[in-house]
Amino acid sequence: MKIEHSVRPWVWAWAGQVVSTLGSALAAFSLGIWLLQQHASVTDYALVIALSALPGLLLAPVAGWLVDRCEARAILLGVEAGSGFAALILWWLFEQGELERWQVYAFAAVNSSGQVMRMLTCQAAIPRILSSAQAIGRANGLMQLMVGLPQLIAPTLAALLLGSVGVPGLLLLDVGAVLFSAGMLGWLAWVATAVRATGQGRVVAVGGLAAVLAVLRGRPAFCALLAYLGVEHLMLGLASVLLAPMVLERYSVLVLGTLMTCGGLGMLGGSLWVVARPPQRLIRTVLLADLMLGVSILGIGVSTSPVVLYAAAFVAFGCFSLSTSSDQSFWQRSLPNAVLGRVLSARQMVCLLAMPLGALGAGALADGWAIPLMSQSSELQARLAPVLGIGKVGGLSLLFAVAGLLYVLLAGLGLTIAPFRRLEPGWVASTQVVAEPG
């Protein structure tokens, strides 16, 4: 694969962001383990995870507004400064023996907020810096790698380093990663040029929610795509919260760890595929990848073989990476640059809202319907038990399989609607939408 000349500087900037993201993931993982060791509380550990997700939902509207008004390099340098300063404070508190739980929670929130800003800034910068469809597609594949690599590497690497350098060493490693990324941004200052768009012709000055609504009115198909993403992430939230308890009921921690490793490798493979061969028909690629993802989720739910489980996880995570990068490319190539950050933040809010709703729904459905159904003798239970099992494991497997089936139906419905699957990127409104002055 030959990388276009215009993409190469962006790749160097991306490498710096990967290093910084990995450093933050190592620090966050080590602090979570430290909380478990110090307090033996699963609730404390769960709070770290929750606080890593909540700020993204709250920050998304402000993040989109900033991305449309500020230089990308300035935003990323601000993210690095905040992340490095937070890690340095925690290192000092740990060395003084004064580190407390609430400070770890605050660090998790800062890390999450920085990651939201980082992702939105990079996503909005891609079509503003790169011009060709191939370059944009490859850049989105690299963005998925930036998400997947830390998830794949951080837990194992942190476990290895904790024994030798401990939590303080990993916090200092995070600071070093921040300095590396900031240095890379300084070296490539000319890459992240100012991102404010200059309007041409008749313009409509709008801001905030009005900008998003103006874009949706300009191309109503975006509303259908947003609705599709919302339902899709409901299913993802339902499946993701059920995966670990279902696998642990059937198998062991070792199988769960191997499963997640296979999933990480699948995400890596999907990202590399996009980098090597960016999809041309973006929405059709999204729908086909989601169809395969749904089949894989269904397979995980009904599987009684660890080998089938590993293969399904590899395919599922790979298809998720392919679908997400293709969807991002479609939005980036279809939106006016002046409101790109705000519309992408609205898209992110839909996904961030849908996933926890799906997760909450999974808990209620599992305890109130699926597990009781598979625990009581009935004709339906007798038919399903040979495939799914009985009791708790049967209920979790049933709900997981239902999530996969709904995913298949959703993607299949999208494929049957010709105007939807044939959507092409591009902005076709009669007026341009730009940010209001100031």
Written in H, E and C, the secondary structure of the chain is CCCCCCCHHHHHHHHHHHHHHHHHHHHHHHHHHHHHHHHCCHHHHHHHHHHHHHHHHHHHHHHHHHHHHCCHHHHHHHHHHHHHHHHHHHHHHHHCCCCCHHHHHHHHHHHHHHHHHHHHHHHHHHHHHCCCHHHHHHHHHHHHHHHHHHHHHHHHHHHHHHHHHHHHHHHHHHHHHHHHHHHHHHHCCCCCCCCCCCCCCCEEEECCHHHHHHHHHHCCHHHHHHHHHHHHHHHHHHHHHHHHHHHHHHCCHHHHHHHHHHHHHHHHHHHHHHHHCCCCCHHHHHHHHHHHHHHHHHHHHHCCCHHHHHHHHHHHHHHHHHHHHHHHHHHHHHCCHHHHHHHHHHHHHHHHHHHHHHHHHHHHHHHHHHHHHHHCCCHHHHHHHHHHCCHHHHHHHHHHHHHHHHHHHHHHHHHHCHHHHCCCCCCCCCCEEEECCC
Q: Where in the chain is the domain with CATH 1.20.1250.20?
A: 1-195, 197-438
Q: Tell me what pLDDT residue 438 has.
A: 41
Q: Tell me what pLDDT residue 397 has.
A: 92
Give me the tens of pLDDT residue by residue for the chain, a chain 438 residues long: 455 555 677 788 888 899 999 998 888 878 877 876 776 554 555 555 555 656 666 777 777 888 888 888 888 889 999 999 999 999 999 888 888 888 887 887 888 788 888 888 888 888 887 878 888 888 889 888 888 888 778 777 887 788 788 889 999 999 999 999 988 888 776 544 433 333 333 334 445 677 777 777 777 888 899 999 999 999 988 888 788 888 888 888 778 878 888 988 999 999 999 988 999 899 999 999 999 999 999 999 998 889 999 999 999 999 999 999 999 999 999 888 778 888 888 888 888 788 878 877 887 888 888 989 999 888 888 889 988 989 988 998 999 999 999 999 999 999 999 989 998 887 654 445 444 444
- Class of domain 197-438 as given by CATH: mainly alpha
Q: Tell me what pLDDT residue 50 has.
A: 54
A 10 A CB-CB count for 200 gives: 8
Q: Tell me what pLDDT residue 339 has.
A: 83
Instruction: Give the right CATH number for 1-195 from 3.40.50.410, 2.60.120.10, 1.20.1250.20, 3.40.190.80.
Output: 1.20.1250.20
